[in-house]
Amino acid sequence: MADVRPDPSVRSAAGAPHDPAEQLRLLAVHAHPDDESSKGAGSMARYVREGAAVTVITCTGGERGDILNPRLQDDESLLADLPAVRRAEMAAAQAVLGVDHEWLGFVDSGLPEGDPLPALPEGCFALMSVEEAARPLIAAIRRLRPHVLSTYDENGGYPHPDHIQAHRISVFAFDRAGDPQYAPELGEAWTVSKLYYINGFSRQRLAGIARYLRENDRADEELESFLGNFDEGSDRLITTRVDVSDYREVRDAALLAHATQVDPDGFFFRVANDVQKAAGWATDDYELRASRIGVTLPETDLFAGLR
């Protein structure tokens, strides 16, 4: 359950209550390049175009990723320096979304597979202490002064070690960045008003779309089968649904900018945008995990209570 109790101590950098005329600022923390385009891209694009300042923080360079687009898997030139390719793809996606972007500079941990699972590589992001790994994020928060911070839930959205670590450092930074006694060398304290978990692949969304397709004699057997992977009892709380019906094509273009990672015929494009809209799920969905201002749930805006 989200902790949404108001905190009267929330102040702007000048020490006064938030000025409604001040530009709103969102900071989205992601583990790898391409995560920003598959999780919350529509809402980020919307907020940029509405005049907010939106910054994506990418924790690692995706150095241990593979080429996931089957059309490019035989391209030896890409494999020669995949980290550089992924940085270029990130720059292209950034331009599509219109966001600002920063790297934290940590090394991708990879996704261990096998039984038993192999050890994570020495020096990788997921093996760092949370306090050490959170330092550059705290410095970024104090410099950028976001009103809203978004990240993954405690399971990482899915259990990739870098996603889980991104969650850990985000929560740590949310708690510490506003404390002037904590690491003053990282900049002047800044208190973030709201913390959200992005809920990108919920059973509720997929079930709603599948039901719409069934009711309209367009049942998707693969989607129905995929739903079997979800336990209804594990549904995350959705407190906030941001309408991104006018920004789905922007999200698609940002995804396709990550050409080595995204199959144009794959999962992300399986359900047409008009179907998602007709099914009532043309939204980016979030769980409000903590708020230091008064809120009323459910919400339709990450900046609710701040405007």
Q: Please give the Cα distance from 170 to 290 (Å, whole number).
A: 12
Q: Do 261 and 202 contact (CB within 8 A), yes or no?
A: no
Q: How many residues does the chain have?
A: 307
Radius of gyration of the chain (CA): 19
30 labeled binding residue? no
Which helix H or strand E contains 209, and what residues bound it? helix 203-215
State how far Cα 47 lies from the chain centre. Answer: 14
- The pair of structure tokens assigned to 64 is 């241990």
Q: Please give the Cα distance from 111 to 114 (Å, whole number).
A: 10
Q: Do 147 and 129 contact (CB within 8 A), yes or no?
A: no
Secondary-structure percent of the chain, ordered helix, strand, coil, rounded to 5: 35, 15, 50
- The pair of structure tokens assigned to 10 is 């929330």
Report the 10 Å Cβ neighbour count for 38: 20
Pick from 263, 286, 254: nearest CA to 96: 254
Amino acid at 72: L
Amino acid at 274: D
Q: Do 199 and 286 contact (CB within 8 A), yes or no?
A: yes
> 53-60 and 100-106: which strand pairing?
parallel
35 labeled binding residue? yes
With tokens 């396709």, the residue in question is: 256
Pick from 223, 250, 230, 158: nearest CA to 197: 158
Binding-site residues from annotation = 32, 35, 163
Binding-site residues from annotation for Zn(2+) = 32, 35, 163
